[in-house]
Amino acid sequence: MSRLVGRDVARVEGRAKVTGAARYAADQPVAGVLRGFLVLSTVARGEVTRIDTGEARGGPGVVAVYTHRDMPRLAVPEGFYVKGFLPMQDARVYHNGQPVALVVAETFEQARDAAARVRVEYRAETPVTALADAAGQAYLPPPFHGEPNEVIRGDTGAALAAAPVRLDVEYRAPAHHHNPIEPHATTAVWDDGRLTVYESAQGVNATRQMLAAALGVPPANVRVISEYLGGGFGAKGLVWPHTLLNAAVAREIGRPVRTVLTRAQMYTSNGHRAEFHQRLRIGATRRGVLTGIEHTSTAQLSRTDQSVFNSSIATHTLYACPNVHVRQLGADLDLPTSSFMRSPELAAQFGLETALDELSHRTGVDPVDLRLRNHADAGPGKHLAECYRMGAAEFGWRRRERRPGATRDGDEYVGWGMATETHTYGNFEASARVTVGTDGRVQVAVATQEIGTGTYTVLSQVAADAVGVPLDRVTTRIGDTDLPPAGLSVASSTMPSVIPSVDRAGQDARAAVIRLAVADSRSPLHGVPPERVVTDRGRLVDSADPSRSDTYRAVVGRHGRAVPATAAVRNTPGHTYGAVFVEVRVHHRYGRVRVTRVVGAYDPGRVLNRRTLRGQVIGGVTWGIGYALTEHTVVDRATGRVVNPNLSTYLVPVNADAPPSVTALFVDQPDPGSAAMGAKGFGETPMTGVPAAIGNAIFHATGRRLREVPFTQDKLLL
- DSSP reduced 3-state for 38: strand
Query: Can you give the pLDDT at residue 2?
Result: 67
DSSP assignments along 379-420, one per residue: -TT--HHHHHHHHHHHHTGGG---STT--EETTEEEEEEEEE
629 to each of 582, 592, 653, 690, how far by Cα in Å?
Answer: 14, 10, 9, 11
Give all domains of the chain, ordered by start, each with its CATH number: 25-126+181-231+236-269 (3.30.365.10), 344-426+573-715 (3.30.365.10), 427-568 (3.30.365.10)
Check whether the bond before 710 is cis (ω within 30° of 0).
yes
User: Which DSSP symbol is given to 235?
Assistant: T
Closest CA to 620 of 697, 664, 666, 684: 684
Given a cut of 90, whether residue 144 has pLDDT beyond it is no
Whether residue 461 has pLDDT greater than 80:
yes
Cβ count near 551 (within 10 Å): 17
With CA atoms as reference, report the closest residue to 80 among 248, 261, 195, 207. 207
* CB neighbour class for 121 (10 Å; exposed up to 12, middle 13-18, buried from 19): exposed
Burial label, 532 (beta-carbon count in 10 A; 0-12, 13-18, 19+): middle
Neighbours of 669 (CB within 10 A): 17
Q: How far apart are CA 196 and CA 187, in angstroms?
A: 8
> Mean of the pLDDT values across residues 1-20?
92
In terms of Cβ atoms closer than 10 Å to its own Cβ (0-12, 13-18, 19+), residue 694 is buried
> In sequence order, which ranges of 140-257 are alpha helices (DSSP H)?
156-162, 204-215, 241-253
Q: What is the DSSP string of 446-489?
A: -B---SSSSHHHHHHHHHHHHHT--GGGEEEE-SBTTSSB---S
Tell me if 171 sits within 8 A of 278, measured CB to CB: yes
pLDDT in tens, 351-389: 999 999 999 999 999 999 999 999 998 778 899 999 999
Query: Average pLDDT of 481-497?
Result: 97
Do 496 and 684 contact (CB within 8 A), yes or no? no
pLDDT at residue 321 tops 80: yes
The contacts of residue 287 (CB under 8 Å, 6+ apart) are 363, 365, 373
Type and span of the H or E element at 619: helix 610-629
Residue 700: CA atoms inside 13 Å, Cβ hemisphere, count? 26
pTM (2 decimals)? 0.97
- Catalytic residue, chosen from 55, 147, 684, 708, is 684
Q: How many CA atoms lie within 13 A of 11 on its CB side?
A: 18
Measured between its terminal Cα atoms, the distance across the chain in Å is 64
pLDDT band at 12 (very low <50, low <70, confident <90, very high): very high
The per-residue pLDDT for 718 is 60
Categorize the per-residue pLDDT at 1 as very low, low, confident or very high, splitting at 50, 70 and 90: low
pLDDT category at 647 given cuts 50, 70, 90 is very high
Task: Calculate what percentage of the chain has a pLDDT beyond 70.
Answer: 100
Q: What stretch of H or E contains 65?
A: strand 62-67
What's the average model confidence in pLDDT over 459-483?
98
User: How many C-beta atoms surround the C-beta of residue 472 within 10 A?
Assistant: 10
The answer on pLDDT for 616 being more than 80 is yes
Give pLDDT tens digits for 50-76.
Answer: 999 999 999 999 999 999 999 999 999
Mean per-residue pLDDT of the chain: 97
Identify whether 684 is a catalytic site residue: yes
Closest CA to 36 of 69, 6, 53, 61: 61
| 679 phi/psi in degrees, rounded to 5 | -90, 155
Question: How many beta carbons lie within 10 A of that of residue 264, not counting itself?
Answer: 14
Q: Say whether 640 sits in a helix, a strand or coil.
A: coil
Banded pLDDT at 166 (limits 50, 70, 90): very high
Nearest to 269 by CA among 331, 200, 324: 200
DSSP H helical segments within 116-230, as ranges?
156-162, 204-215
Does 145 have pLDDT greater than 90? no
Phi-psi category of 254—alpha, beta or left, where left has phi over 0 and alpha has psi -120 to 50?
left
Is the pLDDT at 295 greater than 90? The verdict is yes
Which SS3 state, helix, strand or coil, does residue 513 take? helix
pLDDT over 80 (residue 646): yes
